[in-house]
Amino acid sequence: MSLGLYLHVPFCTSICNYCNFNRGLFDQEVKGRYVDALAEEIRVAGDGSPADTIFFGGGTPSLLDPPEVARLIARCRSGFDVPLDAEVTLEANPETLTLERLTGFREAGVTRLSVGVQSLQDGELHRLGRLHSAAKAREALAAARRAGFGNVSLDLMMWLPKQTVADWMTSVDEAAALGPDHLSLYLLELYPNAPLRDEMARRQWSLAPDDDAAEMYLMALERLDRAGYRQYEISNVARPGCEARHNLKYWSDGEWLGFGCGAHSTRRGVRWKNRSATEEYIAAVRGGGPLRTEERHLTAEERLEEALFTGLRLTAGVDRTAFALRYGVDPWERYGEALEPFVDQGLLVHGEGHVRLTREGMLLSHEIMVVFIGRAVR
Ligand code: SF4
């Protein structure tokens, strides 16, 4: 099984008022030292194993300069066995993209661009504290095509402050009209101390009722079905053949190595996490202390549960035969009794070959997946 390589880039031009990712404000000098550390961490880890995806995530990886991206890709290629047709994704924010930079990223070896559009309505973007406008997002998409990107993904966020179902569907319609190859649809999730919470209280911005959030999800997917996209995961749709190969590793029991501050890795049943703070990470790579902050061997039960949690995120669901071969247990034989009520409610489907959630079941996936917790071993 080929690895996925994840490279974390923790820099952003400004910090969005809802963001809980591992990121900080951009600093040119820190960036230079950070890229050196990333290159060194990849060099040390390189063991010649096959790796068919590289993913620059963040933060805002498009704040790197194209030669830095080229250097890091080259480092991945020299340390691992990366095929010529590997998927190389760069997450990007619209305000960082010009035709010149996009052409540079393309020439550096990036094959797939994932653009954080979030909304195509200026009022919504402003309320989220995003730096770009809807016009800039459209411009960036057009420039990406001109630069030669044949695989472009857009992120959209739903259930935003003051957003109605009609507002959301306008963004979805406009996003589909732009013709990306892949779309990710996320629900805004506000962590407890998110500055956006205070702002919403101060300005009396409210969220649509829960029922509207469900309607937003289902209506968007139906609209995207009609536009020729195929849902393949709870939050992701793609034109056939344009599914995110890297992210599929997370949902289909794959293995990956994460490089950079706060990056997670999972390999051979072991999971670990790098130091989260940027300077501590750089110092650790230079020999100033341990790089890993958490490391643990997953138990057989944890691996089995996780394969079910993540596999059920996929529209294809969990392949019962493959699962039984790998974990020695047929998921329906083990959990069927507890899952039967969800089948009766139309939330889950099971057959000879698979167990999978229906679209309505995906809306309630958390409630359904609770069934697996602590039941792996009887
Ligand atoms: S651009 Fe993305 S990573 Fe950066 S602050 Fe905004 S949401 Fe967070």
Are 231 and 309 within one domain?
no
Residue that is last in its domain, among 215, 250, 285: 250
Which CATH number do you get for residue 49?
3.20.20.70
The per-residue pLDDT string of the chain (378 residues; one tens digit each, 9 = 90 and over) reads 899 999 999 999 999 999 989 899 999 999 999 999 999 999 999 999 999 999 999 999 999 999 999 999 999 999 999 999 999 999 999 999 999 999 999 999 999 999 999 999 999 999 999 999 999 999 999 999 999 999 999 999 999 999 999 999 999 999 999 999 999 999 998 888 899 999 999 999 998 888 899 999 999 999 999 999 999 999 999 999 999 999 999 999 999 999 999 999 999 999 999 999 999 999 999 998 899 999 999 999 899 999 999 999 999 999 999 999 999 999 999 999 999 999 999 999 998 799 999 999 999 998 898 887 755 433
Dihedral of the alpha carbons of 30, 34, 35, 39, in degrees to the nearest 10: 160
Q: Which helix (H) or strand (E) segment is 116 a member of?
A: strand 112-118
Please check whether residue 329 lies inside any domain of the structure: yes
Are 122 and 215 within one domain?
yes
Residue that is last in its domain, among 216, 250, 284: 250
Domain region containing 326? 300-372
Mutate to test the pocket of ligand 1, among 25, 60, 132 (most ligand atoms within 8 A of CB): 60
Distance (Å, rounded) from C-alpha 29 to C-alpha 36?
11
Distance (Å, rounded) from C-alpha 280 to C-alpha 369?
36
pLDDT of res. 375 = 53
Place of tokens 């300069």: 65
Distance (Å, rounded) from C-alpha 282 to C-alpha 260?
9
Confidence (pTM): 0.96
Q: For ligand 1, atom 5, which residue shows the shortest CA distance?
A: 15
Please check whether residue 294 lies inside any domain of the structure: no
How many angstroms separate the alpha carbon of residue 235 from the centre of ligand 1? 19
Within 8 A by CB and 6+ apart from 65, the residues are: 104
pLDDT of res. 374 = 57
Are 244 and 337 within one domain?
no
Mutate to test the pocket of ligand 1, among 8, 14, 16 (most ligand atoms within 8 A of CB): 16
CA distances from 329 to 47, 251, 332 (A): 33, 19, 9
Q: How many domains does the chain have?
A: 2
Nearest-atom index, ligand 1, CA of 19: 8
Mutate to test the pocket of ligand 1, among 9, 14, 15 (most ligand atoms within 8 A of CB): 15
Name every protein residue with a CB atom under 6 angstroms from any ligand 1 atom: 12, 15-16, 19, 21, 23, 58-60, 93, 116
Distance (Å, rounded) from C-alpha 203 to C-alpha 206?
9
Are 13 and 140 within one domain?
yes
